[in-house]
Amino acid sequence: MKQFILDLMCCGDGDIPLYLRVADGHEVDSAMFGTLMAYFHK
């Protein structure tokens, strides 16, 4: 069975989506969170 993860970052005032990424379902969230934050910050 294919699995996927949606990484979604929203702003705090109004919950407007700012970033969306589709990833492999077997990716470890805790391992990717720091990388995603650094990428989003750029």
Of 7, 3, 1, 9, nearest in space to 41 by CA = 9
> Where are the alpha helices (H) located in the chain, listed in sequence order?
29-41
Q: What is the pLDDT of residues 1-42, one digit of tens each?
A: 889 999 888 988 888 998 898 999 988 888 888 888 888 888
Verdict on whether the full-model pTM lies above 0.85: no
pLDDT at 1: 80
Residue recorded with tokens 């379902």: 25
pLDDT at 22: 93
Query: For residues 38 and 25, what is the distance between their CA atoms, to the nearest angstrom?
Result: 21
pLDDT at 4: 94
